[in-house]
Amino acid sequence: MLPAPSEHSRLLLQVALKCADLGHLAMPWDLHLRWVRNLEEEFFHQGDKERDLGFSVSFLMDRGKPGVSETQQGFFDYVVLPLFTAFAKAAPAARPLLAGVLANSQRWQEHYYVTQDAKSPGLQDAESPGGNSISRKSTSCSLSDVPS
């Protein structure tokens, strides 16, 4: 049984708010990258405080382990692309957001997915193309999947 129309509206609004919360993911690459750098530093700062207080360091917040910049593509594949694709299907005016997310996802693939033998170049190298090969297939998603 389908939800009542008011429940559809509420769900669409909730998805829209979540997409707004993650809005930097659809921004032009340089702005998105600045947000990721700031977020990663904020996370590492929190991890430093946790360590100083004798707590175990939270996921993505330990400077000695992969941070936000090294896990972005998985985040795009499993959270961002499905979310923004669903939003663009329900609200076709959101297609430009999906286009931005797809472009940034591709940039992360180009810069960060390397063969198992090579190490990720790190966030500081993001603007310069690295000759690394992509070792895994990303979630398949394109604007053609979304009705106009």
Calculate the CA 66 to chain-centre distance: 15
- Per-residue pLDDT at 137 exceeds 60: no
3-state secondary structure of 86: helix
Percent helix, percent strand, percent coil in the chain, to nearest 5 = 65, 0, 35
Output the pLDDT for position 4: 72
3-state secondary structure of 140: coil
**Which of the 8 DSSP states describes residue 116?**
T
Helices (H), 28-67: 29-52
- Continuous segment of H or E residues that includes residue 109: helix 95-112
Q: List, for residues 10-24, the tens digit of each pLDDT value.
A: 999 999 999 999 999
Domains present along the chain, CATH in parentheses: 8-145 (1.10.1300.10)
Where is pLDDT greater, at 71 or 133?
71
Give the whole-number percent of the chain exceeding pLDDT 90: 64
